[in-house]
Structure 1
């Protein structure tokens, strides 16, 4: 069976899973966390054994070396050439890449160019590509773009009401992200249920980063993130949607540069900015329970924004068959799911309190007209599947 390595490089982390395809069997999986620090942590799981080590990892090249050494030392592969393909999650593909693409020098340069609109993600995605290129040169490298799944969104949903020339010159439009996650959610609903539940889906990827996606017949027709991953929902430290005129107002009042504004919106806002407590929903829920009014307000805003997008996307879909919660908050926070669903009694959404508390797959009440599901996302599997398709083509 051919072996495909799925790689998800973040700014200070590198996640990986090695799959035997087409069986989709996970051979080994792991994470290098806190890259760039002296107290980085490398963990992996292989055949029921959990390995963990704290060490200094200065950059992504060192992280990739750790992963490559572990693949061999563990016995997951006997020879590097057993790995026929490496699929890399790449945040932004712009207008050029609407599907998974084999990586060439031209593609690498375009990923680098797109860093101007994805400064937090594309540069580190490229670091992972370059590092694996050196250490596993016999494997074909493939870029699986976050934005590709959303390439089916129609112009009426992706265009901004700016002068058209800015779209023509710079590609300013809604692109959407978390594509692999929303794609996986559709595939799982479609696999588990018939068309009564898979034709009109709203997928809520709720983590530190968060987005909602409207999926009709397997295709994305709208999503909450936009030109960058900053738009849409209130997130851990990201603001989500803001009146654009607020930004020059703050810049003038605080004498902020463009870089200061980006820092404010991406790292100091969201749940953290409103609550003053944390970017972690669990911490904010605890602070609310302890009587913290700002934490309570932060959660109210957070939930209301999710509800607003669900309502809007129900209109886009012309109804709703299945509502799915996924990612860290979506999969594990029963209180957030309960609060979000409470607004949709008029759609016939009802959840079973016990199933919700237990994080069951199906948390719908018996008489709910809408299926409500909790599905753990698996972006790495989508990366492996997409990589296999490119290698077979």
Structure 2
């Protein structure tokens, strides 16, 4: 019998999973269910045997997706015993600074944070509900906001009156699991870089930067929600708040319509009118694609300079995430705009949020 951890990252239309051996955290299986709500499909690989699974699912909800993952594990495991299920939760609010074992009371508190992460939190919680069939395995929550908890108050505050700040209107930051992984890889493989001033860029369909000094988060580009800062695949990034009130008051858009526009129809998708996929945009001859990519690179460079200001300089820039790891022309466009800064080291480090979650889960269980 082998003790294992199941790591889940549940989104609106997908469920990604990995199975790790508990002792060494070696990966035993990985896969995903895509197309939830519109033709779900399970694809996976069992690392030990090399077995590959690729099949459609009969139903399209999260419960069915979770059931398919559990059935896959039951069919292909080699005497695995599920010790815990570890879930990525995007927003931990002001309460959650560390991973926790989920109780009904904690789940209720996480539900109050749904308005702060409407594209993520409801589906993260749906993954918890769907995993209830693993009755003997506790659920553990790991928070994307946790890495930024120790930031100084000056980096957390919005310039609003105290009464609003006391109600939680403040900056939280996200992609913390990714930045936590980056800080640990740097400490292990590049200790001289880890001790310095690092701008880490998690650049993907969701995108942000983090200023890290000595491996700790000093500042980050996302704010109260995962909408602020850099332009993203389909999210605006920073936008004049007055433009939002104008859209509602003068253009007659409802709150729901504005929210959909900000989260789903903007960013690279809105700028190009073509796609939120960088590979597609790089291959396109349409000038709108070039404009969208140029805009993205410019904003990343501008915010990188801001992150450097927060630390008093920059010693290294670390790229991670789908765009950061794979789109060399975008990396080059960003770095060319930062050439006026003192020479700094550039690294590309593969994201591994799932392993970071497994590490957190094991640490919590052994505490």
Scaled to the shorter chain, the TM-score interval is over 0.9
Look up the match of 1:132: 131
Is residue 35–residue 60 contact of structure 2 (8 Å, CA) maintained in 1? no
How many angstroms apart in 1 are the aligned matches of 2:290 and 2:188? Answer: 38
Are the aligned partners of 1:28 and 1:76 in contact in 2 as well (CA < 8 Å)? no
The corresponding residue for 1:209 is 206
1:238-266 CA distance string (max 9 Å, x none):
00001110111122332111111101111
- Map 1:70-149 onto structure 2 (within 5 A): 70-78=72-80, 82-133=81-132, 135-149=133-147
Between the aligned partners of 1:199 and 1:7, the Cα distance in structure 2 is 33
Q: Secondary structure at the match of 1:254?
A: coil
Aligned ranges for residues 239-388 of structure 1 at < 5 Å?
239-287=236-284, 290=285, 292-348=286-342, 369-388=343-362
CA-to-aligned-CA distance 1:322-380 (integer Å, 9 cap, x gap):
211111111100100000011222334xxxxxxxxxxxxxxxxxxxx422111110000
Is the contact between residue 6 and residue 17 of structure 1 (CA under 8 Å) also seen in structure 2? yes
Gaps of 5+ in 2: none
Q: Distance in 1 between matches of 2:246 and 2:346?
A: 41
Distance 1:261 1:331, change over 3 A: same
Shift in Å at residue 293 of structure 1? 2.8
Name the Cα RMSD after superposition: 1.4
Indicate the larger mover: 311-320 or 226-235. 311-320
Deviations 1:252-303 (A, max 9, x none): 332111111101111111111111111111222222xx2x332222222111
Which residue is 1:7 aligned to?
Answer: 8
Q: Structure 1 residues 66 and 307, CA, compared in 2 at 3 Å: closer, same or farther?
A: same
Contact in 2 for aligned 1:197/1:371 (Cα 8 Å) = no
Query: Which secondary structure does the structure 1 equivalent of 2:184 belong to?
Result: helix
Structure 1: give runs of 5+ residues left out of the alignment.
349-368
Closer/same/farther in 2, CA of residues 196 and 60 from structure 1, 3 Å limit: closer
Q: Distance in 1 between matches of 2:283 and 2:208?
A: 24
For the residues of structure 2 that align with 1:54 and 1:151, how far apart are their CA atoms?
41
**CA contact 1:198–1:322 (8 Å) conserved in 2:** no
Aligned residues: 364
Residue 355 of structure 1: aligned partner:
none
Q: CA deviation at 1:153?
A: 1.6
Contact (CA 8 Å) 2:186, 2:193: kept in 1 or not? no
Q: 1:76 Cα deviation (Å)?
A: 4.3
**Alpha-carbon distance in structure 2 between the residues aligned to 1:167 and 1:11:** 30
Q: CA deviation at 1:58?
A: 2.1
Q: Would you say the 8 A contact 2:194–2:214 is kept in 1?
A: no
Mapped partners of 1:199, 1:3: distance in 2? 36
CA distance in 2, matches of 1:260, 1:198: 45
TM-score, normalised relative to structure 2: 0.96
Distance 2:34 2:153 in 1: 39
Structure-2 separation of matches of 1:300 and 1:142 = 40
Matches of 2:166 and 2:362, distance apart in 1: 34
Report the counterpart of residue 42 of structure 2 in structure 1.
42
Q: Could you tell me how far apart the structure 1 residues matched to 2:4 and 2:195 are?
A: 31
